[in-house]
A and B are shown apart, each in its own frame.
Chain A
Amino acid sequence: MPMKIGSNDFKDRVEEGINDSFMRKAVAGAQERMGSRRQDAADQLGNWEDWRSHGEEIRQHVLEHLDYYLKELSDNIASRGGHVFFAQTPAEANEYIKNVVESKGAKKVVKSKSMVTEEINLNSYLEEAGCEVTETDLGEYILQVDDHDPPSHIVVPALHKNKEQIRDVFTEKLGYQKTEKPEELAAHARAVLRQKFLEADIGITGCNFAVAETGSFCLVTNEGNADLVTALPKTQITVMGMERIVPTFVELEVLVSLLTRSAVGQKLTSYITVLTGPREQNEADGPEEFHLVIVDNGRSNILGSEFQSILQCIRCGACINACPVYRHIGGHSYGSIYSGPIGAVLTPLLGGYEENKELPYASTLCGACTEVCPVKIPLHGLLLKHREQIVEKEGKAPISEKLAMKAFGLGAASPFLYKLGTKMAPTAMNPFVSGNTISKGPGPLKAWTEIREFPAPHKERFRDWFKNREKDGDA
């Protein structure tokens, strides 16, 4: 699926989210569990703030020297016999991958979880070319089997589904005959997918981090599906967002530790696999041919801008798990494969303001996201910057702060949240603040005071939207 998901109308999506009571309960419970596991994992280290600062300094250094490290990476991959393709646009990436697939006469593709391939809509592209593409991460597989239901969380994609729904989907689509017990559902998926792994001609993966000095890259999973994707098919294609790189193994290790603790509260996940080039001569497993596709897709425009720090992101999802707005509206409301605070910042940058101008308002600016981010991205500051820019461009806010809060089920008149919001606002706003109210003012203040009606509701379920959608090009 492309980056964009769900109905076009922000209000509709939010309303659907709020009305989905299973989803809301699931999200609230998940946030609590994942949030507390993350907190424990951080506390165990005793000096988590130093870890975050180290993560931040590594990511900042890499971004400032990104061209250098990408050059080093590609030279080293080529010297190990791998092929590197730099793709500025989704079309370039998809075309290259399709050509590789076609040159192999391949029909069967297995994939491990990769946000960037979702971003460029690779699956539909390959399916049009006549390939069977199978997602092998359990969560992603469930969504794929359910007619491409969109993901609602970057780490736990099927968070919005309960086990009964999953059982029904498996029964309908896979002829599954057992109960809704997670063990039985997973065992069924294991058996079906094992066969897919063994038959596949091509394995496609994302990339958690590439290592410039050795031309390596690293995959982090608990299921181990990435290990099969990279060991069994003859050809492997790895797709990475261009910023996902570190100088050496030494920095890799730090970021992996930050990722696993922040994402799932584990010291390390069950499988962390560092791959370099294709298989060596005489190795009997691993790919004979290896391709790395490095994707820009709008990222370079963020470099050098006031939003550059968002490229430090390691996709851990901690900000999502901490966000009170996500808790109320769920992942689908963001209308993007990237939800929560990271989504609210990143989606407008990659997809443009036109279709995403409400997203920066999906925040109370309480700062919980910024506090948990393992690489110290000032998330709520960036959301505020977005609001400033949108107001400047549009002359007014697309949605008022008060109405937004009401829509998110957080109560328009919640003085606590309102105060939190204003507390986090830049000091530049102070001249316009009198007592407890904000008067109309220029720039950012407008975003807080302008009131606009929501567009009239226009119902279209995700499923219908997906059925009806025309090929939705490159998001």
Chain B
Amino acid sequence: MSLRERAREGRLPNWAVRTLALGRREVLRVVRRPKNTVLPPIVTNALYVTVFGVILGARIGDTAGVPYLQFVIPGLIALGTITQSFQNASFTLFHGRWEEYVESVVASPMGHREQVTAYLLASAVRGLAVGLVIFGLGLVFSEIPVRRPLVAVAALVLVVTLFGSLGIAGGLWADDFDQLTVFNQFLIQPLVFFGGVFYPVSDLPGLVETVSYLNPMVYIVSGVRFGLLGQAEVSPVVSLGVLAGASVVAVAAVLALMARGYGLRD
């Protein structure tokens, strides 16, 4: 009997019931508190889009062969999705450890795979929802094509998997909320900003361009941009390949940490 048939009959296997229960709790936490979760990035991105689309966009002119807003939207989607999926997983684990309510998950029959799946699902929902809203904001001011939808979806799903996993690791590791802020503000944000969100990396002078390709964010931004615009600096095979490789490593690492009870058990 397929999972869906069983679900219809209300006979989901226990592991699915447990995973969905945790995933549900995680998503509800976000939905119930939009002011603290999804509204801030929406406001920030509305400002970005207004400034780049209406005020600066006209002066900058075409970039990499497309209007500037079209060029920048995929980058903003990548940035928003990365930040939100990371924040969701890292906050929930850090806060749950801090206030110890994560114990009701840890001291339950949930296995480590189920827990990781639930946290990743919730991070994906939040990351992708914000990405979608940013896409919508772009549509308000310009036409945003989706030339390679499969590439776009694959890139974004890998992004939320990768950064949801990094968020879980961060949330398990941090002893103090500032450590997570540091990680986000001083590592993720700068890397994304220098990862070709606002300018084509190929416009940079030789050495700087070469160094830029060491920045993993370049592949992410490029992957999303290719999905929407049908063109980007890095070929989609390479960007999706790098992203997929990094995601696999990150998920495996997080599964290992959870199985050991890292940060959760004495």
Judge: A and B partners, yes or no. no
> Could you list which residues of chain B lie within 8 angstroms of chain A, going by C-beta atoms?
none
* A residues at B contact (CB < 8 Å): none
